[in-house]
Structure 1
Amino acid sequence: MAFRLEALLQKCASLFHIKQLQAHLITTGQFQFHPSRTKLLELCAVSPSGDLSFACNIFRQIGTPSTNDWNAIVRGLAHSSVPTQAIPWFRTMLRRSQRVDALTCSFVLKACARALALFEASQLHSQIVRIGVEADVLLQTTLLDVYAKSGDLDGAHKVFDEMGLRDIASWNALISGLAQGNRPNEAMALFNKMKEEGWKPNEVTVLGALSACSQLGASKQGENIHRYIVNDMLDKNVIVCNAVIDMYAKCGFVDKAYSVFNSMSCRKNIITWNTMIMALAMNGDGHKALDLLSQMDLDGVHPDAVSYLAALCACNHAGLVEEGVSLFDSMTESGVKPNVKHYGSVVDLLGRAGRLKEACDIIRSMPMFPDEVLWQTLLGASKTYGNVEMAEMASKKLVEMGSISCGDFVLLSNIYAAQKRWDDVGRVREAMKNRDVRKVPGFSYMEVEGELHKFVNGDHSHPNSREIYAKLDEIKFRIKGYGYTAETDLVLHDIGEEDKENVLNYHSEKLAVAFGLISTIDGTPIQVNKNLRICVDCHTVIKIISKIYNREIIVRDRARFHRFNQGLCSCKDYW
């Protein structure tokens, strides 16, 4: 009879068939037997051919539901579009003194993970301990995953540390959580510890590790992971290949990213194309990015909104103004409706080119309400071109929208400072103080022999600080022979010229480059990652350094990559 029921279950391809099976079970009396009934509930609650509301109706017809019956509904709710509904069902089980097992808790935790319901997950954690199922490895891994996805990384780490037994999923959950939670250093440390303990990374593991490398710009570690992926044939997975392309792109090696893109043995998907186009955009190769966009259709992949956004960014970084405007105008004809990000990219494109009025007109004519980023973009362009009136208008809009971003205040303050309007500078800074708005400090970091080194503007905390500053003094002396004069107008403080030169000389990226010169072999590239945009003076200085010291220097700032070589930059001084 059980075999016949299994055969019938496999043949249920629609809700109509499920209803027929239910009628059959009722008429034959099998509905009262737990295994048959539970399998029907699971089919109806979880399978694509089922119906969760109908499963709930079936459940209500059961006089004394078993734990497995409850689990079938809780599991269905956890996988539904409203996963939080699994939580009140679980609470009802507890109120009715229904036996709760590890599976029940696992399904509810998965619901919490999908809904990012950290408070409910922590309450459930207490219940798990109380009912005595906390030793279950799968359940602990699910609990760890909830904490990680909900942003409580310390809680996730605590669960991990307390686990008596771990499986590969446990390691993966914490590595991914740390990588996604902006703690890439810890993610890489855990990845290395995992290998030391003899665990074999799988597709999920390398995705987390590659994400951490992307954030850190840790190209050497990324290359090692890529080598492992190829040797273990994990590159048959398109998601893994996409992550490798993204890692190389964000580490500044667009040629390696393109090599992976071209040599993929698995079929490229839309994410593959979009990742590669954005990689070219970040590295300033606008023409190649546009060529790739046109190749997508030939490969049977239709560009989506992300494809167009990446291509617009490419035009933006390469100064391809007319091409970008034309591409934007063609979107609707291609069946892709522009969203606020596309408008923002065009506003940035026009703003960078000094066409501020056109940029402002686009914002005012948008079919949707402009967000803060659009006005911030116009404010930034106004600062670049010294348009005080436009800057004040954009700043006023941002205040009306309730923005408290430090960048808004700093940009307006800098515009006033460039005009020597120190009273207005003081007024802006007073407004920042009253709103408790604090300026984000600039910092840079770089990887040397697998170790990350962080530098803050004017920092003396590095162990090699004395040698770094001695190198900076040497650089300062040598670059003057190439006609360098400090861009002191960029130091927007009412201080003397000598003090302004000192402020510029000790920017975090200069400290990092100096450290790179004293700690790496002559002729090898130096790679620096910066949290803010590189300033004009640092850009000028690093160009000269690349020529004097015969070094390729790659700087990833907040917006894009700058590849300095023999006194030139890949951005062609347009950023």
Structure 2
Amino acid sequence: MQFDCLLRRCASLSHVKQLYSHLITTGLFLSDPTARSRLLDLCASSPFGDLTLASVILRRIPRPLTNDFNALLRGAAVSLHPLRSIDWYVNALRTCTRGVDALSCSFALKACARALARPEATQLHRHAVGFGFYADVLLLTTLLDGYAKVGDLEAAWKVFDEMPRRDIASWNALITGLAQGSRPHEAMALFKRMRDNEGMKPNEVTVLGALSACSQLGAIGEGEMVHEYIRHENLDANVQVCNVVIDMYSKCGFVDRAFEVFNSMPCRKELITWNTMIMGFAMQGDGHRAIELFERMDQNGGTRPDAVSYLAVLCACNHAGLVVEGLRLFYSISDSGMAPNIKHYGTIVDLLGRAGRINEAYNIITSMPEMPDAVLWQSLLGACKTYGNVEMAETASRNLVEIGSRSCGDFVLLSNVYAARARWSDVGRVREAMKSRDVKKIPGFSYTEVDGCIHKFNNGDQNHERSGEIYRKLDEIKAHVKEYGYVAGTNYVLHDIGEEEKENAIHYHSEKLAVAYGLMRVPEGSPIRVIKNLRICGDCHDMIKLISEIYCREIIVRDRTRFHKFSLGSCSCQDYW
């Protein structure tokens, strides 16, 4: 009883040391294993603890028990160096009188998840089977979570299917893992299965994973369904849930709906809430509303902007082409007591480059107080491609090589610059450099949602069940847009081939296939929505503008950086992206 009282009063490392001395002098250190392991646990895991001291204490135990090792395993798993937990696990296997238990394995698996240590997680999985721990739901959930976090989703699914019984934590771990592992379809299917068939009630963690999946897919119908569930269950009392709802609506292209959620939150807004909403306006290209909200933060919300706030509002200026406002906000960062970071520099360089002020962008890069990273030179290279500045493009490319960048985009942009000038020998040289460095071009793909189903298209895709109809629709579209003056942007093709071959190469880009399918299936009066993993190419952008006019359809494309809302022959980005 006296020990329990002393343990509860421990509030500093000094207190822990005094309690350790007490156990030594009274003989409890060796005679009372429970008191000893509780002291070790406090020393290893409390905010004021010291994992090194805990390891010294453990080594002074002549015959340490499993609980002694578990205290160190737990503390190491949540420390800055989680793989130390694996070392203690191995140590326990070798020296502990009673070996390890399910809790030991669970702590070690948690360490694997934090350190993204896949081989170690696989080995621990074998131990869990061999030692008979497979009946422990907590351990299996930790194993599932570990596999999900290291990206082995097939193994996570296998553990899930083999579990003798499941609880909400196991469902949440897999849904979150699937959403974060770029398998949003499966995440949403599992959410529905959990809600409708398994008799379990999704909680805050569940809906965060489901909303993340909706955001990736741009699946507004699914997102609205999850939001309705959130409201019905009063989960919007959680500010993190509200933040992710705002993010979901923004990424699905419904920034006004996001703003409604922002304005009607039943809980207090936090800094992340403001930043999420500002970035939502930025993705929509609505720079003026983003700036207005940014300026409201400190005035009405009592929330001081941080580095992320400034980055969000600068991105908004970038996507809207607000050069004067962007420069004003960039230089005001220092006035707020912060120093611009490399992302702020990257955004202002991109803003200037997109506006054609390439020399100013170059001067900012070369006058930075820190070493420029690849993103800054890539932004400059992209501007050079847009404005055909070969000399500066070569300068940017040389700097990218010097800092060791291996992005396929570096080579593609430089090739584009050369191809636009028909410098095919230089294009060939760049392509050979890509081969010698084993640089692979990222394949483009697009999603569109029709009747609640997500349809995915790759460039030149012929795998869709209605592929023949889609290609006939594209041929029809091609004939119509040519009547309106469309000329294929063959300068985007990086091969020295005939014009007809070039037209065919760009005619079947994934976003064009998705739009064609949308014209076939989405009812008139409803917008066609497309999500693309890369930046939309100039030819697709030009063509979709004409499609929106000819077919009198609103077409919304979310590419890697922003939304493009096409209507009546124009785009919301004002051809600035």
Q: TM-score band, normalised by the shorter chain? A: over 0.9
Cα distance in structure 2, aligned partners of 1:24 and 1:437: 63
Matches within 5 A, 1:405-484: 405-484=407-486
Q: Shift of the alpha carbon at 1:319?
A: 0.5
Q: Is the 8 A contact 2:63 2:97 kept in 1?
A: no
Give the corresponding residue for 1:217. Answer: 218
Give the corresponding residue for 1:90. Answer: 89
Give the corresponding residue for 1:17. Answer: 15
Q: Please give the secondary structure, in 1, of the residue aligned with 2:83.
A: helix
**Larger CA deviation: 118-127 vs 513-522:** 118-127
Matches within 5 A, 1:91-240: 91-99=90-98, 100-195=100-195, 196-240=197-241
Give the corresponding residue for 2:572. Answer: 570
Q: Is the 8 A contact 2:55 2:72 kept in 1?
A: yes
Give the corresponding residue for 2:281. Answer: 280
Deviations 1:357-383 (A, max 9, x none): 111111111121111221111111111
Deviations 1:411-434 (A, max 9, x none): 111211111112222222222233
Cα distance in structure 2, aligned partners of 1:439 and 1:116: 26
Q: Shift of the alpha carbon at 1:546?
A: 2.1
Q: Is the 8 A contact 2:82 2:112 kept in 1?
A: yes
Cα distance in structure 1, aligned partners of 2:311 and 2:519: 37
Cα distance in structure 1, aligned partners of 2:105 and 2:494: 58
Cα distance in structure 1, aligned partners of 2:509 and 2:85: 53
Q: Shift of the alpha carbon at 1:492?
A: 4.6
Q: Is 1:535 equivalent to 2:533 in the alignment? A: no
**Larger CA deviation: 19-28 vs 510-519:** 19-28
**Larger CA deviation: 493-502 vs 204-213:** 493-502
Matches within 5 A, 1:283-432: 283-298=284-299, 299-432=301-434
Give the corresponding residue for 1:56. Answer: 55
Q: Shift of the alpha carbon at 1:30?
A: 4.0
Q: Shift of the alpha carbon at 1:503?
A: 3.7
Structure 2 CA distance for partners of 1:98 and 1:143, relative to 1, 3 Å: farther
Q: Shift of the alpha carbon at 1:507?
A: 2.5
Q: Please give the secondary structure, in 2, of the residue aligned with 1:331.
A: helix
Q: Shift of the alpha carbon at 1:292?
A: 1.5
Q: Shift of the alpha carbon at 1:317?
A: 0.6
Q: Please give the secondary structure, in 2, of the residue aligned with 1:83.
A: coil
Cα distance in structure 2, aligned partners of 1:17 and 1:376: 54
Deviations 1:539-573 (A, max 9, x none): 22222322333322110111210011232321122
Q: Please give the secondary structure, in 2, of the residue aligned with 1:528.
A: strand
Q: Is the 8 A contact 2:419 2:491 kept in 1?
A: no
Q: Shift of the alpha carbon at 1:226?
A: 0.9
- Which residue identity does 2:15 align to in structure 1? H
Q: Please give the secondary structure, in 1, of the residue aligned with 2:171.
A: helix
Q: Shift of the alpha carbon at 1:110?
A: 1.4
Cα distance in structure 2, aligned partners of 1:406 and 1:57: 50
Give the corresponding residue for 2:37. Answer: 38
Gaps of 5+ in 2: none
Q: Please give the secondary structure, in 1, of the residue aligned with 2:422.
A: coil
**Larger CA deviation: 281-290 vs 87-96:** 87-96
Q: Shift of the alpha carbon at 1:28?
A: 4.7
Cα distance in structure 2, aligned partners of 1:55 and 1:428: 57
Give the corresponding residue for 2:256. Answer: 255
Q: Please give the secondary structure, in 2, of the residue aligned with 1:473.
A: helix
- Which residue identity does 1:157 align to in structure 2? W
Cα distance in structure 1, aligned partners of 2:60 and 2:154: 44
Structure 2 CA distance for partners of 1:133 and 1:388, relative to 1, 3 Å: same
Name the Cα RMSD after superposition.
2.0
Q: Please give the secondary structure, in 2, of the residue aligned with 1:564.
A: strand
- Which residue identity does 1:95 align to in structure 2? R
- Which residue identity does 2:260 align to in structure 1? S
Give the corresponding residue for 2:519. Answer: 517
**Larger CA deviation: 65-74 vs 46-55:** 46-55
Q: Shift of the alpha carbon at 1:468?
A: 1.9
Q: Is the 8 A contact 2:66 2:96 kept in 1?
A: no
Give the corresponding residue for 1:551. Answer: 553
Cα distance in structure 2, aligned partners of 1:90 and 1:426: 54
- Which residue identity does 1:194 align to in structure 2? M
Q: Shift of the alpha carbon at 1:82?
A: 2.1
Q: Is the 8 A contact 2:64 2:96 kept in 1?
A: no
- Which residue identity does 2:46 align to in structure 1? S
Gaps of 5+ in 1: none
- Which residue identity does 2:348 align to in structure 1? V
Identity %: 67
Cα distance in structure 2, aligned partners of 1:58 and 1:406: 52
**Larger CA deviation: 385-394 vs 487-496:** 487-496
Cα distance in structure 1, aligned partners of 2:460 and 2:124: 48
